[in-house]
Structure formats: C-alpha cells, structure tokens
Amino acid sequence: MLSALIIGLLTVLLYLFISARRKRQHLPPGPTPWPIIGNLHQIDKSAPYNTFTELGEKYGSVYTLYTGWKPTVVLYGYDTLKEALLGQADDFSGRAIVPVFERVARKKGLVFSNGPHWFHQRKFSLTTLRNFGMGKKSIEERVVEEAMVLVELFKARNGKPFNPGPELTAAVSNMICSIVFGDRFDTQDKTFQTLHTMINENLTFLGKRGFQLYNAFPEILKWLPGEHNKIFQNAKMLQTFLRGLIENHVLTRDANCPRDFVDSFLNKIDENPSSHFTMESLTMTTFNLFIAGTGTTSSTIRWAIKFMLEYPEIQSM
C-alpha cells in the first residue's frame, strides 16, 4: 500500500515537472522550477530584490520566475522597464490579478482593478483630488499645519533619540484625510494609532515569504491558519472604519457644496449610477488612498531624514 502511494506521488510529480517544462519552452529563460513550489525556495525572504538582481544578471533583462506553479515574467534593468512602461505603455497598463489583493479589494477601487473600472476610477480620482488641492499651491497651508504639529512633537523629545516613523506616518495620513474626508485626526487618538499599526502590519507583510506563498497557493492557504489571516482581518477592520466615515458623509453632505473627495464621489453615484461608481467602489478607493498614499509618502520622508542624518554636510548647503 505504501509503495503504491509513493509510486503514485512520484508519478504526479513527474507529470507536473514535464508539464511545466513544456510551458517553459514558450517563455523567457530562467531558473529551473521545482514541482509545486516553483522557485520560491530560491528567493531570499529577507531581501527578495537581491534574488531578482542576481537572476537578472544571470538570465538577462527579461526572465521567468515561478511562484508556485504560476510563471511570472520579470523585467530587469532601467532600459527594459523604460521600454515597457513608456514605449509599450498600453500593453503594460494592466495589473496582475494577485490573490492577496483580489481577496482584499475584490477587484474594486483605484489600485487593484483593471480595465474600464480602473479607467473610470483613475480619471475621476485625479480630477477630484486636484480640485481639492492635490499638487497645487492651495494645499500648502495644510502641509504647513501638519509640519508644525510634527515640529512640536519632535521638540517634546528634548533632543533624545527616537523613531519618527509613527509621527511622520500620522502627518501624511492626516494630509490625505483632510482631502478625502475633509478633516484631520488627533495624532494621539488611540483608534487612529491602531489603524496605522494595522497599515504597517499589512505593508510589512508584502515583503515576507507568506505573501509569496499565499499568492502561489491561495486555494489551500485560505483555509489554513497563519499570518495572512491577520492581514485580511486588518483590511476588513480598516474598510469598516472607512465605511463609517462615508456613512457619516451621507447623513451630513450638501450635494450642492461638496466638502471633499467622498462628497464628490457620492454626487457621482447619484448622477451616474453604474458598476463603476458604487458604495463598494467608494470604500475601496478611499481604502487605496488611505493605505497606499500613507505608506509610500511617509517611507520617502523617512529615507530623506535618514540620508540627511548620514550626510549632515548637505544640510549646511
């Protein structure tokens, strides 16, 4: 019985290996994948970008990497990326359907959608955010306000070393909130701090092997315990919080005088009800703006501070 089971298992593995090899004939070169796990065992879980760099140096500017049994074509190098994103922008304008993001956003919103839905969300969001000051001088007063709050928080440390990350994240988040929701939050508010803790946990998860494993085997891991469940719980709690803010806007808005992004979106739902403008897509779009804008901008500012500390002579110029 045991020998028959082993033979059966080896047969399945051999079939998977041969099948994968046939598929690879039509793909760019790359490291040989193992059955089931692909090349996951080769990726440095603490610094995956190092693995991608090494493979790019070995296999060229376009190579194939398997995450589980799914092939991924990787573009390596500035010139290759420029040609793809600028020279062939239409072909590369879509986003891959990544299982983690699909479960979190259900293909709705601004960041994790494709096709007509993405086009309408992007067009509306860019126009509306600009109307409320994004990228314009009129937003300067809000930036100065948050900067002054940061200065006072930094002064309160009395010159002692500390990690400015949470304060910077809160400041950036408040800038986004003032445009999207029309108001800022007290940076010391416990709920506000908890939300940012969850955002940080989710963004950190994107760089871990658990993210790669879930995307490779979503139908299996969605039933199993693990860190990925915490990520989906965080996303659900964040979306519930945002829906509460949106529902408050529904009760207090004046359709003739939109105060912020949410009011404008609600007006769009009223005048153009469609699958692209719904309460769900509004929740997902604000979710995208809240997380993506907060994480990327605060990270950029932290790096800027780090470099200024390492090269103080630049500050004196």
* Amino acid making up residue 56: G
Beta partners for residue 209, in sequence order: none
Rounded alpha-carbon distances, angstroms, from residue 104 to 88, 225, 252, 255: 29, 17, 29, 30
Torsions phi, psi for 157 (to 5 deg): -80, -10
* 8 A C-beta contact, residue 70 and residue 38: yes
The model's pTM? 0.78
The residues, ordered by sequence, that sit 6+ positions from 239 with a Cβ below 8 Å of its Cβ are 283, 284, 287
Beta partners for residue 65, in sequence order: 72
In tens digits, the chain (317 residues) has pLDDT values of 667 667 766 676 666 666 656 666 678 999 988 877 888 888 887 788 899 999 999 999 999 998 888 888 999 999 999 999 898 888 887 777 889 989 998 889 888 888 888 889 999 999 998 888 776 667 888 888 888 988 998 899 988 988 888 888 888 888 888 889 888 888 778 888 888 888 888 888 887 878 888 888 888 888 989 888 999 999 999 999 999 999 999 999 999 999 999 999 999 999 877 778 999 999 999 999 888 778 788 889 999 988 888 888 877 76
